[in-house]
Amino acid sequence: MSTHPPSTAPDHDHGHDHGHSDDRATIDDPRRRRLVLVAVCVALMAVIASVTGLNVAQPELALEFGASQSTVLWFINLYTLSLAALLLPLGALGDRRGRKPVLLLGLAVFGAANVAAGLATSAEMMLASRFLAGVGAAMIMPVTLAVITSSFPESERAKGIGVWTAVGGGGGLLGMYLSALLVDVGSWRWLFVLPVVLVVVAAALVVRSVPNSREVADHRFDLVGAATSVVAVLALIYALHEGPVHGWSTPAVLACLVGGLVAAAGFGAWELRQPAPLLDVRLFRERSLAGGSVSLLAVFGVQAGIFVVLFPFLQAVLGWSALRATLGMLPMALVMMAASGLAPRVASRAGSRATMAAGVLVLGAGLALMATVVSVDRGYLSVLPGMLIMGLGMGLAMTPATEAITGSLPRERQGVASALNDVTREFGTAIGVALLGALLTAGYRSSIDPRLDGVPDDVAATAREGVANAIGAADAAGPQSASVVRAAQESFVDGWQQAMWAGTAVMAALFAYNVLRRRGSADSSEVLSAPRS
């Protein structure tokens, strides 16, 4: 149990096995390790693909159920919210009850929920299915990483985390592309075939190859900590999702923001008083955990914000279809996945913290390049080099950041460590979408106003709402339709540049933070290896 301050954390990895033969089940057979890695990555791919998959079928879902745009967005967001809110308690449950049975239960719940969603006959049934899918996903996601960190030998752990990170980072885009293909050749119901197939494959591999490991607990499960963590994460993620859409001062958003912060403070205060906390918040004094969390939060925030900017650029500015736009994003995802696999080798030579800092620096350079060279006329080729550089930077930064988090908690708490990693990713994603999306919108609106002189008032009002709205309303402007389209496209590029420079500033600050941390402590590769040396 993580009952001691961080300074005693190394003792956990040398300590007794709490009377359970599987607590330290390390897999020495390389062939079995590969099977385990494939099993957990297929399970992770099912979860990640379902985060983005429904985005490609929003119009079809609205027509099928007679649903408003708000309801359709809830089809998408309810899954993410239930997943994020339940990660910490269900990750801890996997540590206590056994990682293999919790993973299999999660796969069963997730698979059943996706079958129900594919057969849904009403909006209510779809909402219930998506909520249940999020519950199953919250059992799967932290356990997949915990299996790697608790059962792989020290020498192989970084490689396993690198592959897991590659799937977690690039799986969303691959899942979106495959989902778009399924919708094109079939219907929206085919979207749910992909996760069900992945679940069946993953379950077969898990039964065959994944060892069971669990923590024999000396204290009761921290129910109060679990409940307050659920409230805090749910409220804060909801506020970050809805704030940019409905306004930060609306009562529901404001209540969730304040309530989430109060619940988070209450969670921290409660955990400090417990002999067996759900998450020992004193561990954040450890520089590797704090640094990994901050880096992962920022990198995933920028990644999510980039997607918010890139998709409308490819679709509304360049006129691409959703399928082609997703395909246009794949080079960045593929480079990111390759770099995630390469990062452990780089870290073994240069050090984990240096690798993470280098990734942040490269990512910032990619953002700056995209801010500098993007233009309406040069199209896709003006942003491709920046996308590839960004993919390289994200891949290099994500793996050591993940290892810094998981390496800071003892092996018997790896479900919690993995859940903390996943919650950090979810918060980063929500913050990135909220902030970079808001900067894009603000930049667009301030730029398009001077370009609408002489345009009919109703068309100008619609054009101010966004680039897609402007292009849709341009025909009503008569002879000025071409100039309205051009004004909207150029204004979008102006907003794009504002968002990219903001992302560059975040990466510069993060790089400085990593450099300053490095001056005050040993290289994180030494820190990470210390508990297991």
Q: Over the stretch 190-211, which tens digit does the pLDDT of each residue have?
A: 889 889 999 999 999 999 988 8
Q: What is the pLDDT of residue 520?
A: 52
In this structure, of 179-193, 331-345, 468-482, the range with the lowest mean pLDDT score is 468-482
Q: What is the pLDDT of residue 119?
A: 93
Structure tokens at 68: 């408003």
Structure tokens at 52: 């983005």
Higher pLDDT, 222 or 134: 134
Mean pLDDT of 224-237: 90
Mean pLDDT of 166-173: 81
Whether 6 has a pLDDT exceeding 50, the answer reads no
Q: What is the pLDDT of residue 351?
A: 85
- 3-state SS assignment for residue 275: coil
Q: What is the tens place of the pLDDT at every residue in 103-126?
A: 999 999 999 999 999 999 999 999
- Residue corresponding to tokens 């790697």: 148
Q: What is the tens place of the pLDDT at every residue in 398-432?
A: 888 888 888 877 776 777 788 888 888 888 887 88
Whether 436 has a pLDDT exceeding 90, the answer reads no
Structure tokens at 473: 């309303």
DSSP letters along 82-129, please?
Answer: HHHHHHHHHHHHHHHH-HHHHHHHHHHHHHHHHHHHHT--SHHHHHHH
pLDDT confidence tier of residue 317, bands split at 50, 70 and 90: confident
Structure tokens at 409: 């908690």
Sign of CA dihedral 496, 499, 503, 504: positive
pLDDT confidence tier of residue 138, bands split at 50, 70 and 90: very high
Residue 330: exposed, middle, or buried by beta-carbon count in 10 A (0-12, 13-18, 19+)?
Answer: middle
Q: What is the pLDDT of residue 204?
A: 95
Q: What is the pLDDT of residue 69?
A: 65
Structure tokens at 399: 């793996």
pTM (two decimals): 0.77
Rounded to 5°, the CA angle 259-265-268 comes to: 140
CB atoms within 10 A of CB 420: 26
Mean pLDDT of 245-254: 84
User: For the chain, how long is the longest CA-to-CA vector?
Assistant: 81
Q: What is the pLDDT of residue 217?
A: 65
HSE, CB side, 13 Å, CA atoms: give it for residue 53.
29
pLDDT confidence tier of residue 216, bands split at 50, 70 and 90: low
In this structure, of 152-161, 228-237, 290-299, 470-479, the range with the lowest mean pLDDT score is 470-479
> Residue 408 and residue 388: Cα distance in Å, rounded?
31
Strands (E), 230-360: none
Q: What is the pLDDT of residue 533?
A: 35
Task: Find the DSSP H helices in 286-321.
Answer: 287-312
Q: What is the pLDDT of residue 247?
A: 78
